[in-house]
């Protein structure tokens, strides 16, 4: 697995040249990049390709593991760049053939021109994907936090439906999961039409490397439109459920992970003196005098006011461990988001408008029309029962979001490059 | 006993008909909800074929909730209590493991793991006196196993029921043993009147190594006074848990609640364990135990004592034989969070002129001693000989 480097942010992408390229990842995408590639991006790719060839030459005479690893890391960029260059060369050739006197040759060239231009676009996209930094949490496990929005029981029922949707989706995909928290709200014993309970809060942990990347597009408001079982007049209600996706550590983390938690530079580091722990205590003498299960625990991160309470397990120490895990994940996510926000504010306003923030609704589940719409990608799928059972329809929606995310990341990189280029240009003029 | 508010009753009613039942034992809605969930998880695990709407399922729920409403501890009803990573079986007749015990046991195993690296070559020996379900011994064994190639844990209890249950718990938690290298055993015996077999085990008589010593003697002995038993214990404890496990010498009315500590400290004079940890009822008992050990008459035959002056000087020396003397609260790993905490400095109490750190948050729960080199140097073997 690649090492996680949470301190990498997209606005610093230019410095990655020196920092190593393990953060770069190529992703499959069908999105087109408007306006071609900025020259600085091409320049960077060219330099990396030169480095790659040099390293390979060195390796041919003298094998060194460190060099081999570095060469492996940047191989994708070099290949993508060479493919692009090849296509560009053939395009130039075709363009000169079109000037030819030979009519047959001219026709052949014109035929090829269209396909080569299309190929060029897709190779350009590949290259920019290869150069796009992977999300620093991408390889991690994740926590899906599910909370009903304000409003009545209907939202709470739907929160439980979403909980089961993700649980089943993971089962279908063969992902291991663990229910960290599943708490019913207190004022209702009714069940929904599918036997769902009125949920107050649930946390589902997906125990697969890369789960964070696979689910991060699920974060946001999910809206439901349906006729609740309790609705006598048959009116459709609209309610919302918030999903938060947090990075989490594998329980038996590798040495790297452990170091991150201990390392004050890490997003996951929490100074224990800044956390207030409250436990439920019997009023009396405790110890042998009392045998009631008092396992609830609440942690408060004082600087941010973030609180986590846990009482799912009969073991207080188990609840404490879970609460700490959730707290770390929430704080890491908050820190990450703050940095992303900063990077965003530096970018062009057009791009920042296309950003989705936490409060935005990202998807609607319309039961009457048997339709699920993702508002970012505009994708509509039918067959709500299949979606709610975590079937291939949900998979389709999530895949479209992955593409959208990749495209958005590429655009951010391009925007940053352009901004940096413009700044450099200005400096040059000033001199 | 405070009367339940009627509104609470109605709110429980809306959760489920079982909830109103549980309210009698729980008295607040949040714990009603939690217990209801744990009970229903237990029922559906025991009979996964039955849907929650089915008759057998509901009948079973009624039975269990009714028992709970009569005050029977949830742990006896469900038959288990989680303890750290372990799942400890519980049965009437044996005391239920408490969360406070779990908290200091986990803290202690963290300390031991940290200290092992420097002592690794030696076998690690741990004695749990008054072991009950075996929770403490089992927990330490399972926590230390990965970092301790040579590890021997022994539990001792006077109750045959407890010993059987503790042995069952070894199997139930699938703890692996490795004869001669990593072992855990539970012995039936009375700490005040040990049989020959128990004496051999306590004094490590069967060890080939002359210098063999206990690295830790830990105990959660009966410490509730007769008066406190009727005044401070909850109904569920009084009516359902064994008095033998709670009140020292429970058949006599006038014995002190400290007699187990006196006995353990007496043993420590000859056994010279590297560390000791005893659970106590609160600050007063903790201070009595610390004073007891500071003032205890040193065994005069020990070389260090022989060279020292008698009386006051001897007392001084004994007090300073321990490099660490600490009092731990319920959550020993957590910084103290009382409003009363004014300064950044550790809380201390002074006993017989020595400052003692009080660590953690919550009520005072245990006392912890680590012997210094001069304490450990003179083992019982130089004093009493073997056998
Ligand atoms: C408070 S319980 C502790 C059980 C267990 N260690 C725990 O923490 O849950 C005390 C135990 O001491 C045992 N016991 C009482 N008198 C004893 C004696 N004279 N010798 C040995 N064990 C005794 C009881 O049977 C009981 O299991």
Gap from CA of B132 to ligand 1 centroid (Å): 5
Does A132 touch chain B if contact means CB atoms closer than 8 Å? no
**Nearest ligand 1 atom to alpha carbon B223:** 1
Question: Is residue A286 in some structural domain?
Answer: no
Q: Are residues A148 and A190 in the same domain?
A: yes
Both structure tokens of B234: 């909850």
Residue A60 banded pLDDT, cuts 50, 70, 90: confident
Distance from residue A108's CA to the centre of ligand 1 (Å): 95
A367-377 average pLDDT score: 93
Are A365 and A346 in contact by the 8 Å Cβ rule? The answer is no
How far CA B262 is from CA of A381, B242, B256, B296, B372, in Å, comes to: 75, 22, 10, 9, 21
How does DSSP classify residue B364?
Answer: E
Q: Is the pLDDT of residue B298 over 80?
A: no
Distance B79 CA to ligand 1 centre (A): 19
Q: Is A284 on the interface with B (CB under 8 A)?
A: yes
Instruction: Tell which residue, A174, A129, A147, A143, has the closest CA to residue A395.
Output: A174
The answer to whether residue A1 is domain-embedded is no
Q: Which residues of A touch B14 (CB under 8 A)?
A: 187-189
Higher pLDDT, B136 or B8: B136
Q: Are residues A243 and A369 in the same domain?
A: yes
Model confidence at B175: pLDDT above 90: yes
Using alpha carbons, select from B64, B62, B69, B65 the residue that is nearest to residue B4.
B69
Which of A182, A194, A277, A287 is the best residue to mutate to test the B interface, defined by the most B CB atoms within 10 Å of its own CB? A287
Q: Does A294 touch chain B (CB under 8 A)?
A: yes
- CB distance B302 to ligand 1 below 6 Å: no
pLDDT at res. A353? 47
Distance CA(B309)–CA(B318), nearest Å, equals: 12
- Integer Cα distance of A72 and A236 in angstroms: 56
Q: How far is the CA of B324 from the centre of ligand 1 (A)?
A: 26
Higher pLDDT, A89 or B72: B72
Question: In Å, what is the CA distance from B339 to each residue of A187, B99, B331?
Answer: 33, 23, 16
Count of domains observed in chain A: 3
Each domain of chain B, given as residue ranges in start order, spans: 6-70, 99-376
- Closest residue by Cα to atom 2, ligand 1, is B245
The residue contributing the CA closest to ligand 1 atom 26 is B245
Whether the CB of B190 sits within 6 Å of ligand 1: yes
Closest-CA distance, B177 to chain A, in angstroms, reads 23
pLDDT for position B284:
94
Q: pLDDT category, B241, cuts 50, 70, 90? A: very high
Predicted local confidence at residue A124, as pLDDT: 82
The whole-chain average pLDDT of chain B stands at 85
Residue A12 counted as domain residue: no
Q: Enumerate the residues of chain A whose CB falls inside 8 A of the CB of residue B330.
A: 279, 281, 286
CA B152/CA B180 separation, integer angstroms:
9
Residue B122 pLDDT level (bands cut at 50, 70, 90): confident
For residue range A328-343, list pLDDT tens digits in order. 999 988 988 888 777 7
CATH number of the domain encompassing residue A206: 3.30.70.1660
Q: What is the CATH number of the domain that holds A307?
A: 3.30.160.20
- Answer yes or no: do B15 and A276 touch at CB < 8 A: no
The reported pLDDT for the residue numbered A282 is: 66
Tell whether A309 and A393 lie within a shared domain: no
> In this complex, do A189 and B16 lie within 8 Å of one another by their Cβ atoms?
yes
Pocket flag, ligand 1, residue B222 (CB < 6 Å): yes
CB B375 within 8 A of CB B268: no
pLDDT confidence of residue A11: 33
- For chain B, give the percent of residues with pLDDT over 90: 55
Q: Chain-wide mean pLDDT for chain A?
A: 80
Contacts of A292 in chain B (CB under 8 A): 26, 31, 73-74, 234, 236
Cα(B155) to centroid of ligand 1, in Å?
10
Rounded average pLDDT over B122-126: 89
Same domain, A48 and A105: yes
Domain boundary among A131, A163, A185: A131
Residue B343 pLDDT > 70: no
Name the residue among A213, A236, A162 with its Cα closest to residue A389: A162
CA–CA separation, B82 vs A266, rounded Å?
Answer: 33
CB contact under 8 A, A277 and B331: yes
Q: Is B245 in the pocket of ligand 1 (CB under 6 A)?
A: yes
Whether A21 is in a domain gets the answer no
Helix or strand holding residue B283 (H, E): helix B283-295
Contacts of B241 in chain A (CB under 8 A): 291
pLDDT of residue A337: 85
The answer to whether position A5 is within a domain reads: no
B130-144 mean pLDDT: 97
On whether the CB atoms of residues B105 and B139 are closer than 8 A, the answer is: yes
Residue B234 to chain A, least CA–CA distance (Å): 6
Confidence of residue A94 (pLDDT cuts 50, 70, 90): confident
What are the Cα distances from residue A137, in Å, to A167, A217, A416, B269?
21, 13, 21, 56
What is the average pLDDT across A421-427? 73
Final residue in a domain of this structure, among A107, A131, A155:
A131
Question: Which residue has its alpha carbon closest to ligand 1 atom 20?
Answer: B190
Asked if residue A16 belongs to a domain, the reply is: no
Mention the CATH class of domain B99-376.
Answer: alpha beta
The reported pTM is 0.76
Report the separation in Å between the CA atom of B191 and the middle of ligand 1, taken as the mean of its atom positions. Answer: 10
Query: Residue A34: its pLDDT value, please?
Result: 34
SS3 letters for chain A?
CCCCCCCCCHHHHHHHHHHCCCCECCCCCCCCCCCCCCHHHHHHHHHHHHHHHHHHHHHHHCCCHHHHHHHHHHHHHHHHHHHHHHHHHHHHHHHHHHCCCCHHHHHHHHHHHHHHHHHHHHHHHHHHHHHCECCCCCCCEEEEEEEECCCCHHHHHHHHHHHHHHHHHHHHHCCCEEEEEEEECCCCCCCCCCCCCCEEEEEEEECCCCHHHHHHHHCEEEEEEECCCCCCCCCCEEEEEEEEEEEECCCCCCHHHHHHHHCCCCCCCCCHHHEEEEECCCCCCCHHHCCCCCCCEEEEECCCCEEEEECCCCCHHHHHHHHHHHHHHHHHHHHHHHHHHHHHHHCCHHHHHCCCCCCCEEEEEECCCCEEEECCCCCEEECHHHHHCCCHHHHHHHHHHHHHHHHHHHHHHHHHHHHHHHHHHHHHHHC
CB contact under 8 A, A187 and B14: yes
Range of the domain at A381: 139-248+356-431
- Whether residue A268 sits in one domain with residue A219: no
Asked if the structure places residue A121 within a domain, the reply is yes
Distance (angstroms) between ligand 1 centre and the Cα of B151 equals 23
A252 in B contact zone (CB under 8 Å): no
A29 is a domain residue: no
Same structural domain, A97 and A190:
no
Substitution candidate for ligand 1 out of B90, B194, B233, B245 with most atoms within 8 A of CB: B245
pLDDT for residue B305: 43
**Which residue in A281, A288, A315 is closest to B83 by CB distance?**
A315
- Here the ipTM equals 0.89
Single residue among A346, A367, A382 that ends a domain in this structure: A346
Buried residues in B272-310 as b, exposed as e (16+ CB within 10 A): bbbbbbbbbbbeebbbbbbebbbebebbeebebbeebee
């Amino acid at each position: 697995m690649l090492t996680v480097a949470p301190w990498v942010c997209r606005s610093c992408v230019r410095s990655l040249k020196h920092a190593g390229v393990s953060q770069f990842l190529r992703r499959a995408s069908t999105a087109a990049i408007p306006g071609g590639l900025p020259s600085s991006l091409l320049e960077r790719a060219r330099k990396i390709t030169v480095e790659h060839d040099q390293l390979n030459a060195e390796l041919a005479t003298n094998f060194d593991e460190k060099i081999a690893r570095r060469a492996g890391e940047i191989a994708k960029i070099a290949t993508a760049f060479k493919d692009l260059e090849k296509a560009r060369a053939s395009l130039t050739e075709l363009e000169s053939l079109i000037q030819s006197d030979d009519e047959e040759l001219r026709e052949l060239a014109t035929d090829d021109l269209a396909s080569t231009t299309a190929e060029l676009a897709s190779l350009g996209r590949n290259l920019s994907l290869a150069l796009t930094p992977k999300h620093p949490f991408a390889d991690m496990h994740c926590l899906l936090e599910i909370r009903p929005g304000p409003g009545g029981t209907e939202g709470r029922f739907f929160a439980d439906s979403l909980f089961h949707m993700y649980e089943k989706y993971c089962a279908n995909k063969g992902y291991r999961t663990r229910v960290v928290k599943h708490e019913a709200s207190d004022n209702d014993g009714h069940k929904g039409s599918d036997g769902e309970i009125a949920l107050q809060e649930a946390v589902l942990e997906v125990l697969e490397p890369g789960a964070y990347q696979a689910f991060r597009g699920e974060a946001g408001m999910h809206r439901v439109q349906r006729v609740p079982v309790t609705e006598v007049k048959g009116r459709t209600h609209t309610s919302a459920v918030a999903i938060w996706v947090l990075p989490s550590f594998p329980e038996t983390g590798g040495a790297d992970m452990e170091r991150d938690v201990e390392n004050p530079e890490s997003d996951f580091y929490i100074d224990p003196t800044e956390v207030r722990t409250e436990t439920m205590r019997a009023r009396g003498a405790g110890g042998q005098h009392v045998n009631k299960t008092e396992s609830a625990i609440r942690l408060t991160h004082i600087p941010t006011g973030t609180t986590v309470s846990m009482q799912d397990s009969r073991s207080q120490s188990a609840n404490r461990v879970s609460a700490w895990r959730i707290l770390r994940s929430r704080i890491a996510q908050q820190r990450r988001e703050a940095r992303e926000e900063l990077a965003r504010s530096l970018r062009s306003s057009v791009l920042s408008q296309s950003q989705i923030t936490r409060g935005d609704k990202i998807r609607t589940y319309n039961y009457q029309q048997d339709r699920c719409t993702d508002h970012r990608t505009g994708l509509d799928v039918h067959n709500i029962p299949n979606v709610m059972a975590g079937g291939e329809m949900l998979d389709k929606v999530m895949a479209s979001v992955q593409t959208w995310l990749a495209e958005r990341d590429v655009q951010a990189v391009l925007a940053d490059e352009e901004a940096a280029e413009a700044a450099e240009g200005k400096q040059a003029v000033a001199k | 006993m405070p009367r339940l508010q009627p509104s609470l009753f109605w709110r429980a009613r809306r959760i489920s008909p079982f909830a109103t039942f549980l309210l009698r034992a729980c008295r607040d809605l949040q714990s009603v909800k939690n217990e209801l969930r744990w009970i229903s998880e237990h029922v559906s695990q025991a009979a996964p074929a039955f849907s929650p709407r089915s008759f057998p399922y509901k009948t079973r729920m009624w039975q269990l909730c009714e028992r709970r409403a009569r005050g029977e501890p949830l742990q006896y009803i469900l038959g288990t209590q989680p303890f750290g990573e372990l799942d400890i079986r519980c049965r009437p007749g044996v005391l239920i493991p408490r969360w406070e015990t779990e908290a200091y046991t986990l803290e202690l195993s963290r300390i031991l793991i940290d200290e092992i690296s420097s002592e690794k070559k030696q076998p690690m020996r741990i004695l749990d006196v008054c072991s009950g379900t075996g929770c403490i011994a089992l927990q330490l064994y399972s926590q230390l196993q990965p970092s301790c190639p040579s590890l021997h844990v022994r539990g001792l209890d006077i109750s045959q029921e407890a010993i059987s249950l503790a042995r069952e718990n070894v199997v139930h938690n699938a703890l692996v043993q490795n004869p001669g290298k990593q072992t855990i055993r539970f012995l039936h015996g009375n700490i005040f009147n040990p049989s020959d077999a128990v004496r051999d085990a306590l004094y490590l008589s069967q060890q080939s190594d002359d210098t063999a010593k206990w690295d830790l003697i830990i105990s959660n002995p009966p410490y509730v006074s007769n008066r406190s038993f009727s005044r401070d214990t909850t109904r569920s404890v009084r009516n359902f848990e064994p008095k033998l496990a709670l009140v020292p010498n429970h058949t006599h009315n006038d014995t002190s609640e400290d007699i187990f500590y006196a006995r353990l400290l007496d043993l420590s004079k000859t056994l010279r364990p590297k560390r000791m940890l005893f659970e106590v009822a609160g600050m007063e008992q903790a201070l009595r135990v610390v004073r007891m050990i500071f003032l205890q008459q040193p065994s005069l035959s020990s070389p260090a004592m022989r060279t020292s002056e008698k009386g006051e000087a001897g007392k001084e020396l004994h007090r300073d034989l321990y490099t660490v003397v600490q009092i731990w609260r319920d959550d020993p790993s957590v910084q103290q969070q009382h409003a009363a905490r004014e300064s950044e400095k550790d809380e201390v109490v002074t006993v017989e002129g020595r400052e003692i750190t009080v660590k953690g948050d919550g009520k005072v729960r245990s006392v912890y001693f680590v012997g210094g080199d001069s304490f450990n140097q003179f083992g019982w073997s130089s004093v009493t000989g073997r056998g």
